[in-house]
Chains A and B, each alone.
Chain A
Amino acid sequence: MTTDTSHIRNFCIVAHIDHGKSTLADRLLEVTHTVADRDMRAQYLDKMDLERERGITIKAQSVRLAHEGYELNLIDTPGHVDFTYEVSRSLEACEGAVLLVDAAQGLEAQTLANYHLARDAGLVIVPAINKIDLPAAEPEQRTKELANLLDCDPTDILHISAKSGEGVDELLAAVIDRVPPPVGDPTKPLQALIFDSMFDPYRGVITYVRVQQGVLASRARIRMFATRVESEAEETGVNAPEPTPVPELGPGEVGYLVTGLKDVHHAKVGDTITLAGKHGATEPLPGYREPKPMVWSGLFPADGSDYADMRDALDKLKLSDAALHFEPETSRALGFGFRCGFLGLLHMDIVKERLEREFDLELIATAPNVEFHVFRGGEMTTVHNPADMPPGGDYDKAEEPVVFATIITPSDYLGAVLGLCQERRGELVDMSYLTPERVEVHYVLPMAEIVFDFFDQLKSGTRGYASLDYEPWGYQEANLVRVDVLLHGEPVDAFSTIVHRDKSYTYGKQMVERLKELIPRQLFDVAVQAAIGSKVIARETVKAKRKDVLAKCYGGDITRKRKLLETQKKGKERMRRVGRVDVPQEAFIKALRVDDGSSAKGKK
């Protein structure tokens, strides 16, 4: 039996990462007695260990709350700019959004961006100021700011403390009162939106769906629009919050579907599920997009013999991560590995960490880069591997991806923000004052400048007050060059990267300086050079080693010294050979480590 749609409310919470979204979700589970007190734990909906550790939601979740005769579906959305598309699909599953703003911190760029997404998706906004019990809270100021933004009556803005529970009942009442019930005709052909999909080793692909019209029943023969794959719906159910089977999901309902599929790529986020055969819908729901990698990096097993295991691990991860791309890559320095495409640096970190943790692999990642367009003789090549970039700028034209960035900063730090954006080759679009103290700035910035350490720099330049969101904004022409790094005259492909010519010297200098410290002294002087084509732009020398001998070796020392030599021998065998130079794994890992800001974007 499906619920009468007038008693259904589908909503999500739009909030900046540490404004209390997970705490509010926890409180809602408690207040509605969805989770028994004894089973309650913090950040209940963040199921992956990684999610709890990093304090961010990676996978969307939905949970059904029963409250005063209503079925409330809370749809949790991923909390990171890497996952904007997933957020937009989650929003499509809702009719309303709670816009949650920290009473001390005020609006942040990400909240604003997601608010715009929610408004564009036609959602009713229920604004709420959270953490009103904080000493630094300025609820009046925030109310004014929010009322201004939403163009609403300040009295419509709720004041709550998700931590203490104050105002949470009122918030639930407002959701029921203000968010419209879903509409949808159960007799029409089935259209169900996939807003998340995951892989369960026992049950195969499980999708989270929102039924727009028609009925999705277990045992129904179903078809995916984008991938044209058919299967039998093995089970429909809802999370309350543990998975609970229901015979069917009707219009407006949100729940899970065990698809009977074995590969997550057959059930993609944003795709539409309908019935197979003549009862199926003829049109999918709008807005589906293929997940497109933004950042590429070569991943290589530190131990070459792990290559086959790594391929299996990537295959398995791909079952649950539709956004992950990979293709085999061979590096002279690092051997066999994979060039992998990610949604962003956070996604890359997560994939790498999962490979290392869940599959016990030790990996070396090359410097991440974005995807460039290179024109030569009238032909365009897409380049996501520095190896494919013509050396020495031998091309007609090159383009790099840019983003449209929204930055919100206290006006005191406006100068610092503008300075940083200029330095990162940004083009100012416009700026406006939200209040006299807070400015919203829009920039078009090269993606390559923003995905790595931009966020860190922004935070440190504004004492942590500025916030950032961005979306892809196409391509624009750029003077791009490939910087190679040579050891003793031998190029090390793993260290090559594509950068704007203006940044080539900085990159080259930084790499040779780092490598000078990381490459152990050899029996001869080792030149460490950075070069564009045949032109050397930076150079350091690792001086030849002069002493490596054990001073004392008497009767009681021999065993220990032999073992020491054996250890040294094993260490040497694990080194990578570049020409005549022995390079330890550590040097690759450390030289290529990205000091990115993605982890800092998670909550503490």
Chain B
Amino acid sequence: MTAGVYVHVPFCLTRCGYCDFNAYAGLDELKPQYLRALLGEIALSAPAWSDVEVGSVFLGGGTPTTMTPGDLGSLLAELRRAFDIATDAEITTEANPDTVDEASLSGLLAAGYTRLSMGAQSFDPAVLRALERVHSPDSVRQAFEAARSARYANVNLDLIYGADGETLESWERSLAETLALAPEHVSAYALTIEPATALGRAVARGDVRAPDPDVQADMFQLACSMLGDGGYGHYEISNWAKPGYECRHNLGYWRRQPYLGLGAGAHSYRDDRRWWNVRPPEEYLATVERCELPIGGSETLDAADAYLEEIFLRLRILEGVPSSWIDDERAEPYLESGLLTEDDGSLVPTERGMLLLNELVLGLTARE
């Protein structure tokens, strides 16, 4: 059995308006304590995972690169000591363009973080402002060049489309800029308005326009064609990669392989049980300091839950659902209307089908 390990770093330089992750600006003084707690949690949880080979490690946040390469190095070293990490494991860290330079990136690479996922979001300054990102398009380019100079050979760029004021033309420019940098992997997300964020409140007040789903659909299709033409394979709704560079860690989530989440608010999954750590960093720290696992909640999936997850995750990664799982008359209308195709005994969403994935999932799993 292969598992993934996720480590959550909840610190950020600033809080972006659209973000509803478990992330905090201004908690920097907790960093040393937080690193100790992560090491403590590794020790507490490792015994239960001793039978598992770890195929991927992913540092996410927040902004992991707000911690020093040295600290991140010790963290990885401790993970290697405590877990059976495969020699060819994929080791990723997220990075914010404003928190890295060539020296720090070299440090990260040397420490063993061989894959870099960078939050570029857009190359349009107006869009970056709308998203309340503090960096500029130039800093994305500089950070990317720095990664290359530091000899990073596996870099992802994150993009967000559909912010207030973004046009199809501006999105096309962002995609062209991305292609010009030639990263190995691209994630492109339709902006989603979460109610409990600054942006969500601004939309509710009417100060900011909510994304137009039709425009976002156009943007999605533009991304599909431009990235496809650029040699990127579309392997998940929001993810594209040069052949062989698909993110193994994330594929693990979608293939319902086990994963262990470490850090405040991180989720874990194994044997149809999912559990998650307490979210507030202070509570997380206090619990681990008492040598207790910081579990905040859990659920056990019953057959129906597991089936629903299986279906919607399989449809996301375009591996599709075996045709034999679904009654013909359920699938028929979607095959007819071109939202699904049948490929080698599997029902696979088309580009239009991907955009309507919730409909597909509901339609294919509807109760009698």
Contacts and interface: CB of A to CB of B under 8 A. Distances in A.
A568 B367 CA distance: 13
A556 B265 contact: yes
B355 A548 contact: yes
A425 interface: no
A375 to B, nearest CB: 47
Instruction: From A547, A553, A558, A559, name the one whose CB has the most chain B CB atoms within 10 angstroms.
Output: A547
Interface in A571-591: 572-573
Interface in A527-564: 543, 545-556, 558-559, 561-562
B366 interface: yes
B293 interface: no
B253 A555 contact: yes
Given A547-B213, A555-B6, A565 B299 contact: no
B144 interface: no
Given A551-B237, A555-B261, A562 B213 contact: no
Interface in A501-548: 523-524, 543, 545-548
A523 B339 contact: yes
Given A523-B356, A558-B274, A551 B238 contact: yes
B87 interface: no
B292 interface: no
B166 interface: no
Contact of A547 (B261, B276, B337, B355): B355
A183 B166 CA distance: 86
Contact of A548 (B259, B261, B274, B359): B359
A427 interface: no
A551 B190 contact: yes
B361 to A, nearest CB: 6
B366 A545 contact: no
Interface in B219-249: 220, 237-238
Contact of A546 (B213, B274, B276): B213
Contacts of A543: 214
B309 A568 contact: no
A569 interface: yes
Contacts of B356: 523, 545-549
A414 B199 CA distance: 52
A377 to B, nearest CB: 46
Contact of B192 (A545, A551, A556): A551
B313 A523 contact: no
Interface string B181-202: 0000000011110000000000
A430 B366 CA distance: 65
B237 A549 contact: yes
A550 B308 contact: no
Contacts of A546: 213-214, 217, 352, 355-356
A524 B336 CA distance: 12
Given A523-B356, A551-B237, A555-B267, A565 B362 contact: yes
Contacts of B250: 554
A156 interface: no
A566 interface: yes
Interface in B134-188: none
Contacts of B365: 569
Nearest to A564: B358
B312 interface: yes
B266 A547 contact: no
A562 B312 contact: yes
B66 interface: no
Contacts of B237: 549, 551, 553
B29 interface: no
Interface string B248-262: 001001100001010
A549 B267 contact: no
Interface in A295-351: none
Contact of A556 (B216, B266, B316): B266
Contacts of A566: 308
B359 A556 contact: no
Nearest to B266: A556
A551 B354 CA distance: 10
A559 B354 CA distance: 20
Nearest to A521: B213
B313 A553 contact: yes
A555 B269 contact: yes
Instruction: From B265, B267, B299, B354, name the one whose CB has the most chain A CB atoms within 10 angstroms.
Output: B267
Contacts of A523: 337, 339, 356, 359
Nearest to B161: A551
B305 interface: yes
A473 B191 CA distance: 62
B276 A552 contact: no
B357 interface: yes
A166 B73 CA distance: 89
B362 A552 contact: no
A524 B358 CA distance: 15
Instruction: From A545, A559, A569, name the one whose CB has the most chain B CB atoms within 10 angstroms.
Output: A559
Contacts of B220: 547
Given A546-B352, A547-B213, A559-B299, 16 more contacts: A523-B337, A524-B337, A545-B356, A549-B190, A550-B357, A551-B189, A551-B191, A555-B4, A555-B261, A556-B266, A558-B313, A562-B309, A565-B308, A565-B358, A565-B362, A569-B365
The 10 closest A-B pairs by CB, nearest first: A546-B217, A547-B213, A549-B357, A556-B267, A551-B189, A547-B217, A551-B190, A548-B358, A547-B355, A555-B253
Interface of B: 4, 6, 60, 189-192, 213-214, 216-217, 220, 237-238, 250, 253-254, 259, 261, 265-269, 274, 276, 299, 305, 308-309, 312-313, 316, 337, 339, 352, 354-359, 361-362, 365-367
30 contacts: A523-B356, A546-B352, A546-B356, A547-B214, A547-B355, A547-B356, A548-B213, A549-B354, A549-B355, A550-B192, A551-B189, A551-B191, A551-B238, A553-B254, A554-B60, A554-B253, A555-B259, A556-B261, A556-B265, A556-B266, A556-B276, A558-B267, A558-B269, A559-B276, A562-B305, A565-B358, A565-B362, A566-B308, A572-B362, A573-B367
Interface of A: 523-524, 543, 545-556, 558-559, 561-562, 565-566, 568-569, 572-573
